[in-house]
Structure 1
Amino acid sequence: MTSPRVWLITGASSGFGLEMARYALAQGDKVVATLRKPNALASFASKYPSSQLLLIKLDVTNQQEIRDVFHKAKDAFGRVDVVFNNAGIVIAGEAEATPEESARKMFETNFWGAAHVSLEAIRFFRDENEPQGGRLIQTSAAAGFVGLPMLGFNAASKHGGVGGTHGGSDQGVAWNIKITTVEPGIFTTALETNAEFLPQHPAYTDDSSPTSIARKMLAELRSNGGVVKKSPVKFAQRIFELSELPNPPARLPLGHDCIAMLKGQVAKLTKATEEYASWSDDLGFEDVTSYAAG
């Protein structure tokens, strides 16, 4: 498109969301930046005219607010071209140490919140945009594909909300709608300081336990001690490039650390598939061709 595109960004208060808003605006596009407390970006918003930047309150756990945001975006700019589905929270701790209330809180935001934003984006691209179409870019995480110590419930909520829900439908979406799930590695974002860390379960306090090692690594991240992290500014640049691709990938691992984790997971799955393939023999009739075609 030669005219400025309209971005709708969730979780724009900091980190990836804020940098994505900054970069899109710098490229001359228009941005609807959503966050739970718009006053947090009052100073940032004052640098741009209302014809280019619109701040709107949005709690992604509120379906009516999601619908309202899209209506307001259309009223202000006529359409939405790119939805950057980015809002999410992290509550880290051993699964046994995670209260159900905390796990459900993550699912309300990372699973249902992300899913409802995605579903409304698809409906809007199809029914409201003229011509039809749009880009849906969703932020997951490497942990959404590779379960990591301390992040079990978080990984489940991230993979289900973006990697699972629409990772499974990306090939079936028509109407000129393109969907990509981005799986970043470790970047320098406010998430490291905004994440909630639960007290360690007493059964895992040994220094050699995977969760103890993970806690030490996360502590180093929070203190910037000896860990080289990638720039969210560079992340935003890559996402902007992604938004312009005519045929974007359904999944985009971003960062060599993420790529290494994914390759390791794929290797494990491949090994198990090959080693135990014979266990699937003589289980009854299977139309293998239909699975392969799907």
Structure 2
Amino acid sequence: MSELASSRVWFITGTSKGLGRALLEEVLSRGERAVATLREPDVLEPLAERYPSSQLLVFRLDVSSYAEIEDAFRATEVHFGRLDVVVNNAGYAVEGEIEATPENAARAQMEVCFWGPANITKEASQIPQSIRFFRDVNPLGQGGRVLNISSICGYSGNPTFSYYCAAKFALEAFTESFIKEMLPEWNIKGVIVEPGGFRTDWNAGSLVRFPAPPQYDTPESPTVRFRKMTAQTYIGDPAKAAKALVQIADMDELPLRIQLGTESLLVVRNKAVRTIQDGERYAELAHSTNVDGVDKDAVLEMFKEINA
């Protein structure tokens, strides 16, 4: 068997630009194979001309369409016959104060950033009625990896990004549950990746903006200040993020969460510390709601085991 024919197969969503495009190019440059999905396949014509079909399959996919997700996985099975790494990267953000964001825009945000990766994760991990890959198509025990690209906004809610944060929070909770449901012998593992701001064309095509209502338009407004701050804090290099994602996929044991970018790491650490501090400060209030006679130490021990 040739080296290419035995290499890993990646399924990457949102490969037209940004982190997805950088990751696709990194994977191909390493001699691995990829299914590159995006809404406008013509964008990848230069790569399709450079790499043979035995290494690159470009497939049209709108992640909000379950039918298209099924088609993409069928095509992957026919074309490569195996699958090793799924990267749920496709997405965009809606920016706007909560009361200024139309409901249809908020719902569309959830469809793409939560339901899209949730349905793709189901397909890849062979939950009933989905295409058989990690568990039933791949050789027994080979399993696979799911890298769900969340955001710094998936751990810490921010002004003007309420619905984007909500979608990413939901994705993180879904991913945690998914990881805990997988039987060890299946060797199906997942990780939540939390990037900070990266220097892509995010503002050009991946950000839908709604103007602030006049009531918020003051220098002291938290949303006005946050808009100004985020416009100046894109410090990440997409090419370096791509190398980091490959490194993550290579890990034998995956962390539950991993941050990409100094600011993401700082925000997550600060919130985690504050959560612990609040828990300790209000512990007695939490215990006070137990039924009389409950041994709180025994409960703590039991749940420590469950959440290990």
Q: TM-score range by the shorter chain?
A: over 0.9
For residue 106 of structure 1, what is the aligned residue in structure 2? 109
For residue 49 of structure 2, what is the aligned residue in structure 1? 46
1:166 pairs, out of 164, 175, 195, with 175
Shift in Å, 1:172: 3.1
The CA distance in 2 between the partners of 1:282 and 1:22, in whole Å, is: 55
Letter in 2 for 1:262: V
The CA distance in 1 between the partners of 2:208 and 2:260, in whole Å, is: 24
Aligned residues of 2:81 and 2:137 also touching (Cα < 8 A): no
**Offset from partner CA, 1:145-174 (integer Å, 9 cap, x none):** 10111111100101202x110122313312
Letter in 2 for 1:128: V
Confirm or deny that 1:13 pairs with 2:13: no
1:126 is paired with a residue whose SS is coil
Trace 1:87-166 onto structure 2 (pairs within 5 A): 87-123=90-126, 124-132=133-141, 133-161=143-171, 163-166=172-175
Aligned residues of 2:89 and 2:148 also touching (Cα < 8 A): yes
1:199 pairs, out of 192, 197, 211, with 211
2:159 is paired with a residue whose SS is coil
The CA distance in 1 between the partners of 2:288 and 2:87, in whole Å, is: 46
For residue 278 of structure 2, what is the aligned residue in structure 1? 272
Quote the RMSD (CA, aligned, Å).
Answer: 1.5
Q: Where do 4+ consecutive residues of structure 1 move more than 6 Å?
A: none
For residue 222 of structure 2, what is the aligned residue in structure 1? 210
The CA distance in 2 between the partners of 1:97 and 1:156, in whole Å, is: 16
The CA distance in 1 between the partners of 2:87 and 2:204, in whole Å, is: 22
Letter in 1 for 2:235: K
Trace 1:23-42 onto structure 2 (pairs within 5 A): 23-42=26-45
For this pair of structures, how many residues does the alignment match?
Answer: 286
Shift in Å, 1:228: 5.5
1:176 pairs, out of 172, 187, 195, with 187
The CA distance in 1 between the partners of 2:274 and 2:215, in whole Å, is: 28
Consecutive unaligned residues of structure 1, counting only runs of 5 or more, are 222-226
The CA distance in 1 between the partners of 2:88 and 2:63, in whole Å, is: 10
For residue 300 of structure 2, what is the aligned residue in structure 1? 288
Aligned residues of 2:9 and 2:83 also touching (Cα < 8 A): yes
Consecutive unaligned residues of structure 2, counting only runs of 5 or more, are 127-132
The CA distance in 2 between the partners of 1:281 and 1:5, in whole Å, is: 49
**Offset from partner CA, 1:60-111 (integer Å, 9 cap, x none):** 1111111111111111111011001111121111111111111100001111
The CA distance in 1 between the partners of 2:92 and 2:70, in whole Å, is: 21
Letter in 1 for 2:180: Q
Shift in Å, 1:44: 2.5
Q: Which moved more, 1:234-243 or 1:278-287?
A: 278-287
After TM superposition, the score normalised by the length of structure 2 is: 0.89
Confirm or deny that 1:239 pairs with 2:251: no
Trace 1:73-92 onto structure 2 (pairs within 5 A): 73-92=76-95
After TM superposition, the score normalised by the length of structure 1 is: 0.93
Letter in 2 for 1:186: G
Shift in Å, 1:233: 0.3
**Offset from partner CA, 1:94-139 (integer Å, 9 cap, x none):** 1111111111000011111110011111112112212340011110
**Offset from partner CA, 1:255-286 (integer Å, 9 cap, x none):** 11001101111122112111111102332146
